[in-house]
């Protein structure tokens, strides 16, 4: 995975986190999570995996 791909994933996680924290964005966040239930788990997995690869 390239640094650019990882950066996009990280920006997406930050965006989703900001949606979850704002009252107006919470509806959109809930809708996304409802339609893609494992999405944030996958994002966290990819971030952790990338960090492990960087440490090696």
39 pLDDT more than 90 = yes
Cβ(40)–Cβ(12) below 8 Å: no
Calpha distance 56→46 (Å, rounded): 16
Reported pTM: 0.83
Mean pLDDT along residues 29-45: 97
Mean pLDDT along residues 23-52: 96
Q: At what angle do helices 3-21 and 23-35 cross, to 10 degrees?
A: 120
55 pLDDT more than 90 = no
What is the pLDDT, as a whole number, of residue 54? 86
Mean pLDDT along residues 28-49: 96
Cα–Cα distances in angstroms (integers) from residue 21 to residues 2, 13, 17, 45, in the given order: 29, 12, 6, 21
């Amino acid at each position: 995975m390239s640094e650019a791909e990882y950066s996009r994933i990280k920006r997406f996680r930050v965006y989703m986190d900001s949606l979850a924290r704002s009252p107006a964005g919470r509806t959109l966040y809930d809708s996304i999570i409802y339609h893609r239930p494992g999405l944030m788990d996958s994002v966290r997995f990819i971030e952790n995996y990338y960090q492990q690869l960087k440490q090696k």
